[in-house]
Every structure is written in C-alpha cells, then in structure tokens.
C-alpha cells in the first residue's frame, strides 16, 4: 500500500468513530431510552382517547398555554438528558477502545522481539527493535490515559491483534529465514500498524469530541509513531522486495549452471 493512502486512512478517523459510536445503542441504557413513548405513539394515543369535556374559551386558552409551557420544558429536559447519555455512551466507547489497545500493545511488545529475531535485513531488524522500544513507551503513555480517565490500567482481550500476531508467527514457522520471510514480516507488521492507526485515530477523535485534552495529546503522539513506522516499513519493503527477487534470479542462475555441468 502506498504511503499516502495509509496516512490518509490514518486521518480519516471520522467514519470509524461514527461506526463505533453507534454500537452502544444496543446497551440496556439506550434500549430503555428507546422504550420511551415516541411522538407518533403519543399522537395515536391522544386520537383514540375519549373527547375531553368542553371548557370555556378563556380556560381553554389558559390551559393550552400551560400545556405548551410544560411540554416545552419537557423537551428541553429530554434533550439535555439525551445529550448527557450520548456523552456517557461515547466515553464508554473510548474506555473500551483504551482497554482493547492496551492489551494489543502489550501483546505486540512481546511479538516484536520474536519478529526481530526472525528478520534478516539489518535495517528491518533495527526498525522492529526501535518500534518495540516505542511500543513499551506507548504502554506507559496509555497508563497515563487510564489515569486521566480515572480508570485502573487493565487490558481487554483483542482478538484482532491476537490474530494478526498469529499470522506473523505462521510465516516464521513455515518459511526459511531470508528476504522472502522479511517481505512477509513487513506485510504482517503493516497490517498491525494499520489496525493501530485506525484505533488511535478514532480514540483521538473521541477524546477531542469529549474535551479530554490530555488523552487527545497522548493518542495523537502514539498515532504519529504508528504512522511513521508504517511509512518506514514501506520504504524498507522496496529494498527487501528487490533482495527477494535477486535471490530468486540467483537461484535460477545456479540451476542453469548445474544443468550445464550435468550435460
Ligand atoms: Fe503501538
Ligand atoms: Fe481490538
Ligand atoms: Fe505500532
């Protein structure tokens, strides 16, 4: 994938944020809210109700003013309630994302050691080692975000990161060390970086919407590191892919020489 595309994706956090934010509607809190009578339901109910006894013009006008006033304040109260609930729901999504990525980063810090050992290209090894150190720093930064949200720093299993790490492990087990494995490791690492970019892009947007400046700064800082790592891997891939092709050609030459000798 091209650099420009990945960094664009990194910044297009809005759609992801929208999708995630929609999820908590299923929560019991939201379900209860939805269970409240809607405008249409009340209209139907008032139609089917028995006609009210006739009132004098003056008392009817006074009563209608009173109804308008009380229903007006009800609307304001309901709107405020909805806004505060929406805010709480969004904060819940942010907290959940934080736990998810905290777990993911911890798994990744361990995996990067293994991936670095499996790599042959020196520049790639160095990139994995540098990113492992960055990842450990990110875990530290995330604990500050937990503090800012008055939460205990605790992870929640992230099946996506587990799966991506598993894919990288399969390559390590099934392939010999060399440029082709290096190329496969880059693919795996970039898939991981893109997952992180999506997560931190969304989390940064949530923090901004909720006015959580400290969290926004933390997620932004990590997001920059993930994007830079992704770009660096794209650059290294150019060399590694050429090495893989050169190795292939060298093998073909060797095979040709062996065939000539045999004749
Ligand atoms: Fe990370
Ligand atoms: Fe996850
Ligand atoms: Fe990363």
The full set of domain ranges for the chain reads 3-21+78-244
Distance 138 CA to ligand 1 centre (A): 6
Alpha helices in the chain (DSSP H): 3-11, 13-22, 28-35, 39-48, 57-118, 122-148, 159-174, 179-209, 213-262
At 63 the pLDDT is: 52
Ligand 3 mean position, distance from CA 78 (Å): 43
- Rounded distance from Cα 108 to ligand 3 centre (Å): 8
If you measure from the C-alpha of residue 178 to the centroid of ligand 2, how many angstroms do you get, rounded to a whole number? 31
SS (H, E, C) 61-130: HHHHHHHHHHHHHHHHHHHHHHHHHHHHHHHHHHHHHHHHHHHHHHHHHHHHHHHHHHCCCHHHHHHHHH
Distance from the alpha carbon of residue 56 to the mean position of ligand 2, in angstroms: 65
Question: Which residues touch 128 (CB under 8 Å, ≥6 apart)?
Answer: 112, 115, 116, 119, 185, 189
Taking only the tens of pLDDT, the chain with its 263 residues reads 333 444 343 344 444 443 344 444 444 433 333 333 333 333 333 333 334 444 444 554 445 555 555 677 777 777 777 777 989 999 999 999 999 999 999 999 999 999 999 999 999 999 999 999 999 999 999 999 999 999 999 999 999 999 999 999 999 999 999 999 999 999 999 999 999 999 999 999 999 999 999 999 999 999 999 999 999 999 999 999 998 888 766 666 555 555 666 55
**From ligand 1's centre to the CA of 135, what distance in Å?**
5
Q: How close are the terminal C-alpha atoms of the chain, in Å? A: 46
Cα(224)–Cα(221) distance, integer angstroms: 5
- What is the pLDDT at residue 256? 56
How far is the centre of ligand 1, averaged over its atoms, from the C-alpha of 47 (Å)? 59
229 contacts 192 by C-beta, under 8 angstroms: no
Cα–ligand 1 centroid distance for 236 (angstroms): 19
Backbone φ and ψ for 31, nearest 5 degrees, come out as -60, -40
Residue 185 makes CB contacts below 8 A (sequence gap 6+) with 115, 118, 119, 124, 128, 168, 171, 172
CA angle 250, 256, 261 (to 5 degrees): 125
Cβ(233)–Cβ(189) below 8 Å: yes
Q: What is residue 248's predicted lDDT score, i.e. its pLDDT?
A: 66
Which of 238, 229, 241, 236 shows the shortest CA–CA distance to 195?
229
CB 197 within 8 A of CB 230: yes
According to CATH, the superfamily of the domain at 3-21+78-244 is: Ferritin, core subunit, four-helix bundle (1.20.1260.10)
pLDDT in the model for residue 68: 56
């Amino acid at each position: 994938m091209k650099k420009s595309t990945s960094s664009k994706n990194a910044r297009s956090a809005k759609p992801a944020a929208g999708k995630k934010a929609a999820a908590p509607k299923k929560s019991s809190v939201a379900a209860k809210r939805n269970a409240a009578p809607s405008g249409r339901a009340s209209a139907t109910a008032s139609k089917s109700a028995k006609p009210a006894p006739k009132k004098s013009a003056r008392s009817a006008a006074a009563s209608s003013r009173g109804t308008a006033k009380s229903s007006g304040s009800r609307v304001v109260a309901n709107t405020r309630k909805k806004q505060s609930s929406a805010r709480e729901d969004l904060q819940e999504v942010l907290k959940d994302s934080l736990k998810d990525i905290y777990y993911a980063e911890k798994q990744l810090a361990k995996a990067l050691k293994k991936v670095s050992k499996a790599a042959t290209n020196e520049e790639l090894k160095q990139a994995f080692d540098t990113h492992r150190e960055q990842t450990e720093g990110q875990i530290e930064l995330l604990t500050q975000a937990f503090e800012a949200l008055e939460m205990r720093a605790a992870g929640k299993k992230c099946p996506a990161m587990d799966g991506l790490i598993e894919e990288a492990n399969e390559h390590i087990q099934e392939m010999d060390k060399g440029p082709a494995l290096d190329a496969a490791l880059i693919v795996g690492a970039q898939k991981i970086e893109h997952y992180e970019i999506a997560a931190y892009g969304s989390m940064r947007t949530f923090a901004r919407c909720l006015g959580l400046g400290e969290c926004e700064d933390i997620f932004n800082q990590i997001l920059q590191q993930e994007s830079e790592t992704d770009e660096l891997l794209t650059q290294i891939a150019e060399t590694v892919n050429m090495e893989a092709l050169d190795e292939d050609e060298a093998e073909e030459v060797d095979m040709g020489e062996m065939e000539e000798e045999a004749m």
